[in-house]
Chain A
């Protein structure tokens, strides 16, 4: 036992753990950043789990049939966005309970991807695999000891996920479009009366959240498992939803919270491999327990004032 703890704390082990943290963070981070657009425009991003599943499956199907991972990514974004479109119709146009519609969407995505997966791939019973995204070393930077390995020798989706954080921050807080998105989420009627199109803004934001969460899902099938497994998102979409709240609806907060989750996940994986005398189910529980703790810790976070409230013109 002491020997094992020691081996967990060597420099290589720590580097490995942090490198792995970057990878476990990426899918939730993509979903959380995507969800931020939706939440900030006033539409609850409760369907993230569904977009992720759609993206995981769509991405896999696209990559498998085209033989091209990039087409897979495109397909993942389209799949996520299509599911988001359905949700937006109910949440924005019909103005129904977003909690119910979002949950319905997750069920539809779970059932739909499961059904199609069996129709397309599981007649043989074997998993069909693809060649996943490989790490791309950034010339120069990846040579830096430790840091290079952790930050600059990752696959493109990891880079994309982390890059989206400053991009989203800039867009939300430093551009006219960001001001408009936030105004729709804070006070939809005020936005309407200055001539902004509330419906269009919300549709746009929900679609973006679908596409980005779809990428997050595609990470799982195209850069992690190399195949599609039913329910492979394992509630990461709901965790992303919790991460947004815990991160106080700010991209930087979401980044911090995602890293915390990614780290917990990486530790959990590491411990499973290390073979500690703890039933692995308890390790698997860790992210879920962490989410509960995060929700309790977040308490009554101040959310965008119009969040979850449909806007109806007279």
Chain B
């Protein structure tokens, strides 16, 4: 009998069928992997299992009995726990407060801090989680925050744990720790649904794999009887295409130079003494777990945040202490991390978004007016060049575009103004395989045109397949500058700061040519 199963779950949004007759089941003490790319319907299914949304058809069964899941509360009461990819923790609260939130039956109406901390500490010990109940969650590293989430579910008596992309934010070492925790829980008879799109992790931790594609179950296989290529085919419906790239030697010169850049005061440094040179015609990847200073580095280089010391030079132009306007004028382009907030004005049309940076100058500006005619022609050209799918043409608001097409608008804007250097921050986040491949091809295209590209990504696979050199950041410091053929193990150690390694201080071909 399954601990938790679904039968024929269907969920529609308009005519989009997000879940099409999904039938899955996880046995007691089993790890079931739910594999699928972005947009395959994993999140929708999970929200249904956790009572956050209701299916149009089908039923959910717990230990063989059909149940109604109208709210998370009911899911919790039925022993279903969920660890969201974006943690559902209150950063301003302590660990203990987060763990007991909403559990009045356990805490009582009046909360005494000492008693609260004692009971949470005890509970945390039972699972060998070393968590200090009084520390503020917002101050904890991501790996520990995830434990608070897991502890929270266990405290609520979860028998089935749903983990949504739990490794996305972890270092390889932290992932190893997480897997230990999962095996321990398994030993206690708990079931785990492990949602992921990473084949090797799925192979390592699960007993069975259910693959979703375009809202449908492609099949369920025993992990022991399958291999990554088969899973990949099931997941994307064809073989994975690795971007074609030439490992050509770089014949450029340093275009973007970052010298001893430091952000934040002593004691809470977001970036410490970062020095990098990005050469024309190379992609320099920055690997590292989220929150190790990548964001602050990019913000300081681009000028949206001030650096405390250090210099930024673009092709001879001093950008230190200047704002984004000067960086843009000097020829620096940025594909920001959060395209919907930082990349695009969502209420604006495609055309209006395309001139967000260039409206200030000719030819789009004429006197104090904006030349709508020229803007329209330019937008039409970009829509054609970048294959932006918009039913309403250049006047369509970007809010009605798909994520991939929104990213194409950002790419079109940044690339078309012919910058000297381009910074791409997690440029494929949330995109499906097709759109991801498109973004990769465009980045490689810019590389071929001799641009200096700084690629920041937490997807190791992306960094390793696209970069000419890889820089690794840990706790705001540079721990490595290596070639992309570096071993996974070395990379993992660089990402955790266990060692440093500087083998690729200049692109290949420099020095020996």
Given contacts A183-B90, A193-B72, A195-B72, contact A313 B109 (CB under 8 A): no
* Residue from B71, B92, B102, B111 within 8 A of A305 (CB atoms): B92
Among the interface residues A180, A190, A196, which one has the most CB atoms of the partner chain B within 10 A? A190
CB-nearest residue of chain B to A178:
B111
Among the interface residues B71, B101, B110, which one has the most CB atoms of the partner chain A within 10 A? B101
Interface size class of B (residues with CB under 8 A): 20 to 34
Given contacts A194-B76, A314-B52, 9 further A-B pairs with CB under 8 A are A174-B111, A179-B93, A187-B90, A191-B90, A193-B84, A193-B88, A195-B73, A195-B102, A313-B52
Question: What mask results when residues 169 to 205 of chain A are scored 1 for a CB within 8 Å of chain B, else 0?
Answer: 0000011110110110011011111111000000000
The answer to whether B111 touches A176, judged by C-beta atoms less than 8 angstroms apart, is yes
The answer to whether A187 touches B73, judged by C-beta atoms less than 8 angstroms apart, is no
CB distance from B440 to the nearest CB of A (A): 30
The answer to whether A195 touches B71, judged by C-beta atoms less than 8 angstroms apart, is yes
The answer to whether B110 touches A194, judged by C-beta atoms less than 8 angstroms apart, is no
CB-nearest residue of chain A to B88:
A190
In the docked arrangement, what's the CA distance between A174 and B50, Å?
Answer: 30
Main secondary structure of the interface of B (DSSP, over half): loop
* Residue from B50, B101, B156 within 8 A of A183 (CB atoms): B101
B112 contact set on A, CB distance < 8 A: 174
In the docked arrangement, what's the CA distance between A179 and B99, Å?
Answer: 12
Given contacts A176-B104, A193-B82, contact A186 B76 (CB under 8 A): no
The answer to whether B97 touches A176, judged by C-beta atoms less than 8 angstroms apart, is no
The answer to whether A187 touches B110, judged by C-beta atoms less than 8 angstroms apart, is no
Given contacts A194-B72, A313-B53, contact A179 B101 (CB under 8 A): yes
Question: What mask results when residues 194 to 231 of chain A are scored 1 for a CB within 8 Å of chain B, else 0?
Answer: 11100000000000000000000000000000000000
A314 contact set on B, CB distance < 8 A: 47, 52-53
Question: What mask results when residues 44 to 65 of chain A are scored 1 for a CB within 8 Å of chain B, else 0?
Answer: 0000000000000000000000
CB distance from A42 to the nearest CB of B (A): 12
CB distance from A48 to the nearest CB of B (A): 24
CB-nearest residue of chain A to B50:
A193
In the docked arrangement, what's the CA distance between A177 and B107, Å?
Answer: 11
In the docked arrangement, what's the CA distance between A285 and B72, Å?
Answer: 52
Given contacts A193-B82, A195-B72, contact A187 B91 (CB under 8 A): yes
Instruction: Count residues on chain A whose CB falls below 8 Å from chain B CBs.
Output: 21
A195 contact set on B, CB distance < 8 A: 71-74, 76, 102
B50 contact set on A, CB distance < 8 A: 193
B93 contact set on A, CB distance < 8 A: 179, 182-183, 186
In the docked arrangement, what's the CA distance between A186 and B110, Å?
Answer: 20
CB-nearest residue of chain A to B86:
A189
Q: With an 8 A cutoff between CB atoms, is B152 at the interface?
A: yes
Q: With an 8 A cutoff between CB atoms, is B509 at the interface?
A: no
In the docked arrangement, what's the CA distance between A175 and B52, Å?
Answer: 27
B90 contact set on A, CB distance < 8 A: 182-183, 186-187, 190-191
B89 contact set on A, CB distance < 8 A: 187, 190
The answer to whether A176 touches B109, judged by C-beta atoms less than 8 angstroms apart, is yes
* Residue from A176, A187, A190 within 8 A of B107 (CB atoms): A176
Q: With an 8 A cutoff between CB atoms, is B108 at the interface?
A: yes
The answer to whether B88 touches A180, judged by C-beta atoms less than 8 angstroms apart, is no
Given contacts A187-B90, A194-B72, A195-B72, contact A175 B109 (CB under 8 A): yes
Given contacts A187-B90, A194-B72, contact A177 B109 (CB under 8 A): yes
The answer to whether A176 touches B72, judged by C-beta atoms less than 8 angstroms apart, is no
Q: List 17 A-B contacts (CB under 8 A).
A: A174-B110, A174-B111, A176-B100, A177-B104, A177-B109, A190-B89, A190-B90, A191-B101, A191-B102, A192-B72, A193-B88, A194-B101, A194-B102, A195-B72, A195-B73, A314-B52, A314-B53
CB distance from B103 to the nearest CB of A (A): 8
Q: Which 6 residue pairs spanning A and B have beta carbons closest together?
A: A195-B73, A194-B102, A190-B88, A176-B104, A193-B88, A186-B90
B91 contact set on A, CB distance < 8 A: 186-187, 305
Instruction: Tell me the B107-157 residues at the A interface (CB within 8 Å).
Output: 107-112, 152, 156
In the docked arrangement, what's the CA distance between A193 and B83, Å?
Answer: 10
Among the interface residues A182, A189, A193, which one has the most CB atoms of the partner chain B within 10 A? A193
CB distance from A197 to the nearest CB of B (A): 8
CB-nearest residue of chain A to B53:
A314
A196 contact set on B, CB distance < 8 A: 101-102
The answer to whether B102 touches A180, judged by C-beta atoms less than 8 angstroms apart, is yes
Instruction: Tell me the A285-314 residues at the B interface (CB within 8 Å).
Output: 305, 313-314
In the docked arrangement, what's the CA distance between A153 and B140, Å?
Answer: 51
A187 contact set on B, CB distance < 8 A: 88-91
Question: What mask results when residues 401 to 422 of chain B are scored 1 for a CB within 8 Å of chain A, else 0?
Answer: 0000000000000000000000
The answer to whether B88 touches A194, judged by C-beta atoms less than 8 angstroms apart, is yes
